[in-house]
Chain A
C-alpha cells in the first residue's frame, strides 16, 4: 500500500516542513519528508528537502531542531538517514560530505551515564543518545541514531551495537516501551505506542538473528503495537507503530486501512510532519536494511509501483 501521487505532491509543496501547518520549518519533519519522497522516487522534492537540511547543518556536522535553534541536535540522525536515502536512490554521493560530518558528530556525542541505582530499573550505564546535550540517553533519539548509523554503513560500530543493547534493555518485560524508563521505585511504567514503534523500527536493523533480535520482549512489543493500532491514536504514534510493525515484516489489511485513514487525517490537518510520517510509514525505507539481515520484505521498489490512487 502506498500513498497517492497527489499526497506526495502535497507533501512536496509543504517543503521545508514544520510540525504543524503554520509553524516554521523544522529539521525532523523535513528529514522525514526527504526520506519518504526519495523512497517514493520523487527525487526533485527530496533533493529540495535534503538541501535545506544541508543548509542548516552546522560546522560541527550537527543539525539542530530548527533553522534558528542549533541545539538540541538530535535530528542529525534523521538528516543522515535523509541524505543517505536520497543518495541511494539518486545513485550518487551528493551528500557524502554532509553525511561524514554528521556521523563524526554523532559518534562524538553521547548521552550521560549515571551509576546504577536500585530505584531505577534500566541499565543507566549503557550509552546511547540524548535529547538535549549533556543529559541521559533516551530511547527515541537512540533509535533514530541506530538507523542512521546502519544506513551510513556503521552497523558494526561499537556505538551502534551498544545503542542496540540499550534499546533492548529499555523494553518492558511484558512488551512495549515507555519513553525510556522501565521500572522506577519498584513499579513498572506504562508502554507507549510511539517509543515502542521507534524501538522496533531500530531493532529491525539488527535483524532477527542477532542477540537482540532473539529477545522475547521484541515479539511481545510487536504484539503490543498490533493491539494498540486498533484503538484511537494520534497520527504520529500510529505512523511509528506501522513503521515498527512493517519493519519486522508484519503487514496486514488492518495496517493498510490505518494508513489510508492517517493520510486523510494528516491532509486535513495540513501538518507537514504528520504527512511525512504517514508517507514514510508506507515506504520501503521502514523495512530492514539489506545489511541488517532481516530482509523479510522485498527491496525498495520504484515510485510507480509504490503509489496508488488511494488516500485523498
Chain B
C-alpha cells in the first residue's frame, strides 16, 4: 500500500454490469455504481406487525428472498452487517438499530453459509465500546457469538470516488469494508433534522473511519451531506439494506426525536428504492429528499412506478412522521404531516 493508502482499484465496467442480469446479481454481484445501469423494477420487501421478540429471522429470510437475494450465492461469502449506532443512549433505544434485528439478520445470513461480522464507526462517539454497551449491541453480539469490527480505528484503504457528486476525489474505507463481499446497511427508520430522512443510504456514513474523518465526520459535512451520501453509496462494493422499522423515531431525529412505533421490517438490494419506499410511508416526498434525488437512476430507483412492492404494499402502512417545523424540512412533507417544534 502506498503512503496514505491510495492504491488503484478495479472498476466494474458497463458490459460486466449488464452481463450480471437478474435481481440476485444486482444485489450481490454488481456494485451500486453498476446497479444503476441495470433495468427493470426494483423489488422492495415490506413486512408489518413485526416485534423484537418475534420471528425476525424468518421475516428477514423472506425479505432477502423477495428482494432477489440468492441464498446459494452467499455460501462462503464475507458479509458485514452495519447497524446504526450513531450516538447510543440507554434512554433513547429508538435511536439505534435494535440488537434483535442484528442477530436475526446474522442468523439468516449464517444459515445461508455466509461468514458474518458486525461493524460500525459510530459517528458521534469515539469510544466504540461505550456505544456497544449503551446500545445493548455488545452484549447481544457476545451472546450470539458474533465478531465486532470497530470501523473507526481499522487500517484503511483509499478508493476513488465513483459518485463524483462532491469534490472529494476519493474516500478511505476500513479493512472490514474493503474485504466484505457484501455490506448490509441496517438502519433505524428515523427522521433527520437536516436532510429529512435517515435510512439505508445515510446509514452508510457510518462505514467511514473516524480516525480519518473525525467525530463527527465533519469532512463529509463540509463537502455536502447529500452529495457525500451518494458518493459513499456509489463507491462501496456491494450493498443491500435491512431496515429496523419496528420502534422508530420521529420529530427531532436522528438523535433526540420521539418514539414512533411502526412494526415494520423492510429489505431490498436497491437501497435508494428501499429508502424511497420508507420515505413514502413516513409522509415524505422522496423526490424532495436531496440525496435520493441525486441517487435517482444513478444508484437505484426512487419513483413508485419503478419499484415493485413485495411482501406488503406501502400505502396501507403509511403513517406520517412528525417533522421539525424548520424551513428546510417543511417542503419535504405531505399535507397531512404534522410539523412540530
Contact = CB atoms under 8 A, between A and B. Distances in A.
Interface string A162-199: 00000000000000001110001111011011110000
Given A26-B153, A130-B218, A68 B193 contact: no
Interface string B202-243: 000000001111111011011000000000000000000000
B124 interface: yes
A69 B150 CA distance: 18
A70 interface: yes
> Chain B CB within 10 Å — which of A70, A140, A185, A236 has the most?
A185
A72 interface: yes
A131 interface: yes
B176 to A, nearest CB: 12
Given A135-B219, A185-B326, A20 B211 contact: no
A236 B218 contact: no
Nearest to A265: B129
Q: Name the interface size band of chain A.
A: 35 or more
B154 interface: yes
A135 B3 contact: no
Interface in A10-28: 18-20, 23-24, 26
A70 B4 contact: yes
**DSSP majority for the B interface?**
loop
Given A68-B4, A69-B4, A185-B193, A135 B214 contact: yes
A18 B153 CA distance: 9
A234 B222 contact: no
Contacts of B299: none
A298 interface: no
A186 B341 contact: yes
B124 A234 contact: no
Contacts of B193: 184-185
A132 interface: yes
A104 B154 CA distance: 30
B339 interface: no
B8 interface: no
Given A69-B5, A72-B214, A189-B256, A19 B150 contact: yes
Interface in B134-160: 150, 153-156
A236 B130 CA distance: 8
A232 interface: yes
A69 B126 CA distance: 18
Contacts of B326: 119, 185
A179 B215 contact: yes
Please classify how large the interface on chain B is, using the bins under 10, 10 to 19, 20 to 34, 35 or more.
Answer: 35 or more
Contacts of A130: 214, 218
A69 to B, nearest CB: 6
Contacts of A18: 153
Contacts of A243: none
B120 interface: no
A246 interface: no
A134 B222 contact: yes
A69 B218 contact: no
A235 interface: yes
A218 B218 CA distance: 27
Contact of B212 (A23, A26, A132, A235): A132
B214 A132 contact: yes
Nearest to B138: A234
Contacts of A26: 153, 211
A146 to B, nearest CB: 17
Contacts of A86: none
B155 A24 contact: yes
A133 to B, nearest CB: 8
B324 interface: yes
A187 B252 contact: yes
B319 interface: no
Contact of B133 (A20, A190, A232): A232
Contacts of B126: 140, 179, 194-195, 236
A295 interface: no
Contacts of A23: 153-155
A178 B216 CA distance: 11
Contacts of B1: 68
Given A179-B125, A187-B252, A190-B87, A138 B130 contact: no
A106 B133 CA distance: 35
Contacts of A195: 126
B265 interface: no
B89 interface: yes
Interface string B1-31: 1011100000000000000000000000000
B128 interface: yes
A234 B256 contact: no
B255 A190 contact: yes
Contacts of A192: 87, 124-125
A271 to B, nearest CB: 9
Nearest to B341: A186
B15 to A, nearest CB: 36
Interface string A36-80: 000000000000000000000000000001101111100000000
B127 interface: yes
A266 to B, nearest CB: 11
- 3 pairs of A and B residues whose beta carbons are closest in the complex: A131-B214, A234-B129, A234-B130
23 contacts: A26-B153, A68-B3, A69-B5, A70-B4, A71-B4, A130-B218, A131-B215, A132-B218, A134-B222, A136-B222, A179-B215, A180-B216, A185-B324, A187-B252, A190-B87, A190-B256, A194-B127, A194-B130, A195-B126, A232-B133, A234-B128, A234-B129, A236-B129
Interface of B: 1, 3-5, 87, 89, 124-133, 150, 153-156, 193, 210-216, 218-219, 221-222, 252, 255-256, 324, 326, 341
Interface of A: 18-20, 23-24, 26, 65-66, 68-72, 112, 119, 130-132, 134-136, 138, 140, 178-180, 184-187, 189-190, 192-195, 232-237
